[in-house]
Amino acid sequence: MVSRADTSILIAGAGPVGLALALELARRGLKPRIVSENDGPVAGEESRALGINARTLRLLAPSGVTADIQAQALQIEGLRLSSLGNPLLTVRTNRYRGEYPALSILPQGVTERLLLARLKALGIAPEWRTAVISVNGGTRAPEVTVHRDDDSGETVKPSILIGADGAHSLVRRSCGLSFPGNALENEFFLADYAYDAPVDASHARVDFTNPGVLACIPIRTNLLRYISTHADFEERIAHPAAPAAQTWRSQFKISFRHVPEMAKGRVYLAGDAAHIHSPIGARGMNLGIEDACWLAWLIAEGREEEYSRLRLPAVRRVLRQTRMLTAIVTMDRPSSLTLRNRLLPLLSHLPFAEDALLKGIAGMDTPHPPWLAAA
Ligand SMILES: Cc1cc2nc3c(=O)[nH]c(=O)nc-3n(C[C@H](O)[C@H](O)[C@H](O)COP(=O)(O)OP(=O)(O)OC[C@H]3O[C@@H](n4cnc5c(N)ncnc54)[C@H](O)[C@@H]3O)c2cc1C
């Protein structure tokens, strides 16, 4: 194997993907530099991603993060689908028979802090409040200018530059990589509510409102997230108890985009910088962490030029899957709604359909990471 210990690696962005990449490189003896324009991990109460799948747990086991996640995550039994309150289908995620649970629930802010703690133990800390402001010199010999909050700055020439700088990636735009795809018309609304005492957190629930949806995802035993296509969704929530506080409120639109190539010259993209899609299916952060783990392994092996070829099929597959799930949730033609609501209950009679669903929820529908023993 080529020794890469002295390779200069610059990671732009210390979100979950940049942190996982730095950690996977560091545990193999490489010393990446990681800069991020924000001032630390996302606030616990403003966590976008909640669902961590079995694939991510398998990938993060060697660094010790999986044990940390499992000590804190909420385990749900499954997902209940209904139409205007009438049950349609229960997907029993606890039926998944893998090494790790199909889906564990942990706020993204907590996951980022666990990654950070393990990274710190390996002697690497992100440089916060440090933004990449330009990439010049071409992708074969990138010259990266960073700017700090205290108005200082510098230009660095890494052997490898990785853009893990999110959906609006400056690295991607500076390198002239396109981001084709489309945006949905629908707007989604989100609110997290805390309760004084434990409430039923055993299942995630998706109620079709024909058209539209109101979903409820347990975050902790006393904290629930509601997501809807309806602007007035809060009036539709049947709270399990009087809420003690609304801890976060947000709204977002969904786009489906991915780069045609995940690398150009010495520049590599990972996570939302390379692909964005609907949060339905809880795949975004998981897919990005998977990118990070593959890229770290390939860099350590001196085979990073294979990254784009190896990752694109998984990216395309997940985008196709989340597009389909999103279409099922957002459909609005009365005939389609009727058909959907009649077909979904039939799935409970088809064990292979539930197995396929569980495999996707667990993230086990992408290629097995060759550096890990098969489970
Ligand atoms: C409502 C919602 C729910 C979701 N739920 C899930 C879920 O359950 N499971 C799941 O897997 N995914 C989920 N996702 C998706 C998930 O949040 C993202 O895929 C994930 O955050 C992507 O991580 P990232 O590190 O690639 O990017 P980001 O989290 O966006 O991090 C990018 C980092 O780069 C920094 N940065 C940006 N520009 C620069 C620059 N120029 N220089 C330096 N630093 C820079 C930013 O400050 C940030 O720290 C959800 C998304 C939404 C909107």
- Is 116 a domain residue? yes
Report the separation in Å between the CA atom of 259 and the middle of ligand 1, taken as the mean of its atom positions: 16
- Is 1 a domain residue? no
pLDDT digits (tens, 9 = 90+) for 206-251: 999 999 999 999 999 999 999 999 999 999 999 999 999 999 999 9
Domain with 306, as residue range(s), is 9-361
Give DSSP secondary structure letters for 137-194.
S-SSS-EEEEEETTS-EEEE--SEEEE---TT-HHHHHTT----EEEEEEEEEEEEEE
Report the separation in Å between the CA atom of 285 and the middle of ligand 1, taken as the mean of its atom positions: 7
Pocket test for ligand 1, best of 19, 35, 37, 106 (most atoms within 8 A of CB): 37
Burial (CB count within 10 angstroms: exposed 0-12, middle 13-18, buried 19+), residue 185: exposed
Q: CATH no. for residue 72?
A: 3.50.50.60
CA–CA dist 86, 84 (Å, integer): 6
- Is 3 a domain residue? no
- Is 69 a domain residue? yes
Of the chain, the percentage scoring pLDDT greater than 70 comes to 99
Q: What are phi and psi of 63, to 5 degrees?
A: -85, -10
State whether the Cα torsion 46-49-54-56 is positive or negative. Answer: negative
Q: Give the residue-averaged pLDDT of 31-46.
A: 95
pLDDT digits (tens, 9 = 90+) for 177-196: 999 999 998 899 999 999 99
Q: Give yes or no for residue 48 having a pLDDT over 90.
A: yes
- Is 371 a domain residue? no
- Is 2 a domain residue? no
Give the residue ranges of DSSP H helices in 44-160. Answer: 54-59, 65-72, 108-121
pLDDT digits (tens, 9 = 90+) for 331-369: 999 999 999 999 999 999 998 998 999 999 999 999 999
So what's the pLDDT on residue 20? 98
Count structural domains, the chain: 1
- Is 349 a domain residue? yes
Classify 31 as helix, strand or coil. coil
DSSP-derived letter for residue 46 is: G
CA–CA dist 363, 282 (Å, integer): 9
The residue contributing the CA closest to ligand 1 atom 29 is: 15
- Is 375 a domain residue? no
